[in-house]
Structure 1
Amino acid sequence: MATNFDLFGDPIPANHGGRGRPEHVPTVENRNRVNMLLAMGWSNERIAAALRVTLPTLRKHYFSELRYRAVARDRLDATLLMKAFQGVDKGRLGPFLKLVERNDLMNFGQTSRPVAAAPVEAETKPAKPAKLGKKEEALLAAHQPNTGSPMGELMARRQQGLNS
């Protein structure tokens, strides 16, 4: 593991100065940075540019973080709520209440607490019509010509003549 760091605080790989470009070394700080940027809705291109790596390098070294893009914001909010909740024990109630209020506003219109379901009376739902297979659908379509075309118009007149 590298013990030297560059000006940006990134570790200097062991083969620095050798042939070829040194391989990117992911750090805990960079993993946390990727998680935070995902939570902020950044694209992979922006994240790669912020880390000064290519897209393939980002996908290679940070694939586990990228996999959880959909829940990154929820994970960040949960971490912030937990930190604020820990501050309540130290007498800092304000930040926690602000986060709770923001969470309640975000959930406005949704039920945030489980509500006991009212007993449902036996409702009679209309029976669904039997689902038709491909052949039955084709047969029905064949007996209902498209009257928007001259051929369909002719077929419709012929069917009316056969049915009457």
Structure 2
Amino acid sequence: MAAAKFSEVDLFGDAVLPAKEGRGRPEHSWSAANSNKVLLAFVRGLTVKQAATAIGVSVPTLRKHYSSELAQREAAAIRYEMVQFSRLNELAKSGSVAAEKELARRLEKARLDDLSDRVSNHARPPRVKPRGKKEEALEDAQNVRGLYEPPAPPPGLLN
């Protein structure tokens, strides 16, 4: 007779497993629910450590079992936004006026966000790296005038 599957969950929705025979903690296993939690953490802009904490594992365990989700970290927010746009577009094509209005509102907001990013980046002057002692000394040495000024090259060598 097969053992009944244990279906209890804790406060956070994680499965509560019965005690196993043997030493040590059982190895973490990948699950679609945890995968979605990790991706949503990256969509929200959380760090790898915060994403690991969200599913109750350590950072090395997260890296071991959720490496494909970590690879998508940079593009997670963009991909999620495009999925939302796609869903709204499908609803709008099927005749939902509310979805069409929401899609138009989100697209306009995205355009304005992009425009504000471009404008704010152009408005800031480029950051000038402060010069150190050696750079100042080199420039001062090249601008010496008077008795210690290097002689001018012969006139025939100039182009």
TM-score range, shorter chain: 0.5 to 0.7
Whole-angstrom distance in 1 between the partners of 2:7 and 2:29: 11
Whole-angstrom distance in 1 between the partners of 2:72 and 2:54: 19
Match of 2:42 among 35, 38, 41: 38
Q: Which residue of 2 aligns with 1:157?
A: 148
Structure ID, larger Rg = 1
Q: CA deviation at 1:30?
A: 0.9
Whole-angstrom distance in 2 between the partners of 1:46 and 1:79: 24
Q: CA distance change for structure 1 residues 19 and 31 in 2, over 3 Å: closer, same or farther?
A: same
Gaps of 5+ in 1: 112-144
Number of aligned residues: 124
Q: CA distance change for structure 1 residues 147 and 26 in 2, over 3 Å: closer, same or farther?
A: closer
Whole-angstrom distance in 1 between the partners of 2:41 and 2:8: 22
Q: Which has the higher helix share?
A: 2
Q: Which residue of 2 aligns with 1:49?
A: 53
Q: CA deviation at 1:19?
A: 1.9
Q: Kindly provide the amino acid, as one letter, of the partner of residue 70 in structure 2.
A: L
TM-score normalised by length of structure 1: 0.61
- On the 8 A contact 2:7/2:16 being kept in 1, the answer is yes
Q: CA distance change for structure 1 residues 59 and 44 in 2, over 3 Å: closer, same or farther?
A: same
Whole-angstrom distance in 2 between the partners of 1:146 and 1:84: 61
TM-score normalised by length of structure 2: 0.62
In the TM superposition, structure 1's runs of 4+ consecutive aligned residues that sit over 4 Å from their partners are: 11-15, 145-149
Quote the sequence identity (%). Answer: 26
